[in-house]
């Protein structure tokens, strides 16, 4: 298994929208936002199967999520993580004097992370310092 | 059993006002006309609630009475040099007005979720103005509907059916009378109903809009492709746009969050302005939270500016990039915060979220959120639009009345009532 470089997009998904209405502390919300959509060819090249654990790293941070193949991804080298605390761990705080951080189009690296665990929301908060 | 008709949905900027809710034993038993997100809210809003005010003591949140929690919130804000009041895109306009008043009283910043959604849209609008219209005009008249950087089917699931391509308008009744174009990086569910889907290279929206403006003016493009799109396809799109009678460009966060940010919006507005040489053409941001537009309206009519307003000088000061909540946290300037109906610890970049965790902050929310889990004070509130009434503005700035269909749990108050309590307590502390 080997890693690959990618451009990270974050955004809305229907499951995330429904998950947050169940509860931000629910398993359904966690399941909806702790995933990374990957192009099937990147999955194959990296030896990844659906719901394998991966580490996504940008210059701003690193997070463990589960990978899912997606036909929404236009081509190899693009990955998508729904809005939420997992995506936010990878976003830089520069706003280019607009107030808006860059949530789409961030250089990232993806690597298989067998044996690693997807943290729950409370563990992510501990990492934030509370 | 009681049936409530024409309930306004408190989810997204569509503010669908045709929801039918059936209520029995002070619980919603069923809803009609809801999308999947709306139905999930109406049928689950009462589960997983915050039930008691909480104050964090020695790292643990412990239940307290409401008076103590309100006093603690007032104390946090009063003791701060540069506090922020943030959120309320999921509150009523009446509560939002009190939020602005509170920020003025404590000499802080009032900001809202616009900062991480359509803040760049506001900046583009300041530069260029915005030729827009209502969703009713789109429904009745639009024959060309373009979604750019918006996964409308997942973010606003009834938009197509109620207001645009699939709606039955007065003058455009059939699907065949309208053309739908989607431009996006990903081929999402929203591409499926489109007549033309254009898959653009990430971060090259500005380039494509510039090329499109050139082609519209019959200028020659010397490249074979722009933003990954062959020039012939750009010409095909230009032809489609030029030949419509009433066109609308709906745009989403694909434009505001990508490279270029507010400059992408400048380019989109310029494109629409150009298109008015050939057709009636309008542009509208796809606003996400159901009353984020209202928060911009209220903040504007009370301070003159739509978001990120610094009231610490005794008069409103607006400079996004400087006065935006993300930036005052980023620079470590903000020293206390009150978060209302929002979850910044889930959605702000990690380093900004870390800085929020270093300062005292309080949360008012009906439900536990990532932010409420570690807040210094938590006050549970009623669910606006279900347990509390109020005004809200649809994405096209049309105000609608949110209904109260049943009572909140005993001892739970609306955002409006809670903010009034905090405001009164702050005023009494400040003498």
Q: How far apart are CA B261 and CA A66, in angstroms?
A: 30
CB atoms within 10 A of CB B428: 10
Residues B202 and B331 grouped into a single domain:
no
CA B402/CA B404 separation, integer angstroms: 7
Q: Domain ends where: B285, B315, B334?
A: B285
Spell out which residues of chain A touch residue B368, defining contact as CB-CB under 8 Å: 23-25
Q: What is the pLDDT of residues A74-97, one digit of tens each?
A: 999 999 999 999 999 999 999 999
Q: What angle do CA B176, B179, B185 make, to 5 degrees?
A: 140
CA distance to A125, B78, B367, B386, per residue, from B376 (Å): 14, 15, 16, 27
Predicted structure pTM score: 0.97
Shared-domain flag, residues B298 and B397: yes
Domain match, B197 and B225 both: yes
CA distance B404 to B413: 13
Q: How many helices (H) and strands (E) does chain B have?
A: 16, 21
Whether residues B165 and B256 share a domain: the answer is yes
Give the number of domains in chain B.
3
Which residues share a beta bridge with B380?
A: B365
Chain B interface includes A62 (CB < 8 A): no
Write down how long chain B is: 431
Last-in-domain residue among B285, B301, B316: B285
> Is the CB of residue B185 less than 8 Å away from at least one CB of chain A?
yes
Do B112 and B87 fall within a single domain? yes
| Strand A4-11 to A104-112 pairing | antiparallel
Size of interface A-B (CB pairs under 8 A): 174
Instruction: Give the residue-averaged pLDDT of B1-24.
Output: 97
Question: B127 and B268 share a domain?
Answer: yes
Flag if A21 and B44 touch (Cβ within 8 Å). yes
Kindly state the average pLDDT of the residues A59-77: 96
Residues B409 and B382 in one domain: yes
Q: Are strands A78-82 and A4-11 parallel, antiparallel or unpaired?
A: parallel
Q: Cβ of A13 under 8 Å from any chain B Cβ?
A: yes
Quote the CA–CA distance of B307 and A64 in Å, as a whole number: 34
- At B250-281, the pLDDT tens digits run 999 999 999 999 999 999 999 999 999 999 99
What local confidence, expressed as pLDDT, does residue B230 receive? Answer: 98
B78-111 pLDDT tens trace: 999 999 999 999 999 999 999 999 999 999 999 9
Answer yes or no: do B309 and B263 share one domain.
no
Other beta carbons within 10 angstroms of residue B180's beta carbon come to: 21
- Do residue B257 and residue A104 have CB atoms under 8 angstroms apart? yes
What DSSP element (H or E) covers B179? strand B179-184
Contact B48, A26 (CB under 8 A): yes
CATH number at residue B101: 3.40.50.740
For residues B128 and B269, state if they share a domain. yes
Q: Which one is the CATH code of A4-128: 2.30.290.10, 3.10.150.10, 2.40.37.10, 2.40.40.20? A: 2.40.40.20
Place B431 in a pLDDT band, splitting at 50, 70 and 90. Answer: confident
DSSP B191: G
DSSP B228-260: TEEHHHHHHHHHHHHT-SEEEEEE-HHHHSSTT
DSSP character at residue B407: P
pLDDT tens digits, one per residue of B112-146: 999 999 999 999 999 999 999 999 999 999 999 99
Q: Are B160 and B256 members of one domain?
A: yes
Contact call for residues A86 and A47 (beta carbons, < 8 A) = no
Same domain for B383 and B357, yes or no, is: yes
Task: Report the residue of chain B nearest A91, measured CA to CA.
Answer: B349
Percent of chain A with pLDDT over 90: 95
- Predicted confidence at residue B417, as pLDDT, reads 98
Nearest CA in chain A to B289: A17
User: Are B326 and A95 inside 8 Å of each other by CB?
Assistant: yes
Q: Judging by beta carbons within 10 Å of its beta carbon (0-12, 13-18, 19+), is residue B390 exposed, middle or buried?
A: buried
Task: Please give the pLDDT value at position B28.
Answer: 96
Q: Which domain holds residue B54?
A: 50-116+290-430
Most A CBs within 10 Å: which of B58, B322, B350, as the mutation test of the A interface?
A: B350
Residue A1 has pLDDT above 70, yes or no: no
CATH of the domain at B208: 3.40.228.10
Sequence ranges of the domains in chain A: 4-128
* DSSP conformation class of B256: H
Task: Quote the CA–CA distance of A69 and B157 in Å, as a whole number.
Answer: 23
Q: Is A4 on the interface with B (CB under 8 A)?
A: no
Alpha carbon distance B109, B103 (integer Å): 6
Same structural domain for residues B223 and B142? yes
Cβ contact B347:B39 at 8 Å: no
């Amino acid at each position: 298994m080997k890693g690959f470089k990618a451009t990270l997009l974050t955004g809305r998904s229907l499951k995330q929208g429904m998950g947050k209405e169940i509860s931000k502390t629910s398993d359904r919300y966690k399941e909806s936002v702790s995933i990374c959509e990957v192009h099937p060819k990147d999955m194959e090249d990296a030896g990844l199967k659906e719901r394998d654990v991966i580490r996504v790293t940008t210059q701003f941070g690193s997070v463990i999520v589960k990978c899912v193949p997606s036909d929404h991804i236009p081509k190899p080298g693009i990955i998508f993580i729904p809005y939420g605390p997992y995506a936010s761990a990878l976003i830089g705080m520069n706003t280019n004097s607009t107030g808006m951080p860059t949530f789409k189009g961030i250089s990232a690296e993806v690597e298989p992370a067998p044996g690693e665990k997807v943290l729950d929301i409370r563990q992510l908060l501990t990492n934030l310092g509370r | 059993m009681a049936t409530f008709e024409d309930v306004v949905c408190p989810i997204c900027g569509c503010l669908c006002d045709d929801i039918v809710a059936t209520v029995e034993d002070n619980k919603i038993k069923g809803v009609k006309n809801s999308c999947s997100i709306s139905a999930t809210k109406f049928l689950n809003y009462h589960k997983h609630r915050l039930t008691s005010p909480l104050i964090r003591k020695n790292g643990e949140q412990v239940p307290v009475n409401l008076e103590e929690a309100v006093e603690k919130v007032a104390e946090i804000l009063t003791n701060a040099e540069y506090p922020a009041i943030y959120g309320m895109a999921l509150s009523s306009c009446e509560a939002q007005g009190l939020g602005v008043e509170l920020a003025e009283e404590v000499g802080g910043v009032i900001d809202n979720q616009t900062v991480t959604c359509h803040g760049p849209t506001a900046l583009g609008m300041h530069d260029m103005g915005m030729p827009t219209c209502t969703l009713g005009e789109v429904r009745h008249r639009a024959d060309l509907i373009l979604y750019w950087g918006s996964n409308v089917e997942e973010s606003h699931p009834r938009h197509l059916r109620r207001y645009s391509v699939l709606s039955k308008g007065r003058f455009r009744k059939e699907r065949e009378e309208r053309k739908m174009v989607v431009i996006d990086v990903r081929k999402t569910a929203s591409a499926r109903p489109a007549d033309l889907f254009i898959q653009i290279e990430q971060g090259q929206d500005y380039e494509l809009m510039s090329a499109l403006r050139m082609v519209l003016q019959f200028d020659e493009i010397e490249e074979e492709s722009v933003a990954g799109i062959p020039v012939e396809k750009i010409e095909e799109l230009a032809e489609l746009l030029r030949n419509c009678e009433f066109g609308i460009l709906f745009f989403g966060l694909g434009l505001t969050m990508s490279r270029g940010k507010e400059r992408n919006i400048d380019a989109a507005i310029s494109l629409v302005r150009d298109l008015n040489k050939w057709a009636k053409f309008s542009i509208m941001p796809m606003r996400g939270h159901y009353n984020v537009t209202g928060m911009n309206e209220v903040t504007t009519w009370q301070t003159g500016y739509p978001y990120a307003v610094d009231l610490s000088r005794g008069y409103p000061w607006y400079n996004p990039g400087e006065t935006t909540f993300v930036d005052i946290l980023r620079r470590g300037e903000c020293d206390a915060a009150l978060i209302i109906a929002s979850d910044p610890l889930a959605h702000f970049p990690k380093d900004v979220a870390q800085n929020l965790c270093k300062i005292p902050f309080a949360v008012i929310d009906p439900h536990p959120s990532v932010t409420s889990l570690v807040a210094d004070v938590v006050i549970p509130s009623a669910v606006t639009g279900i347990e509390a009434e109020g005004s809200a503005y649809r994405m096209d700035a049309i105000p609608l009345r949110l209904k109260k269909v049943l009572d909140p749990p005993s001892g739970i108050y609306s955002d409006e009532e809670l903010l009034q309590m905090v405001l009164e307590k702050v005023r009494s502390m400040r003498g």
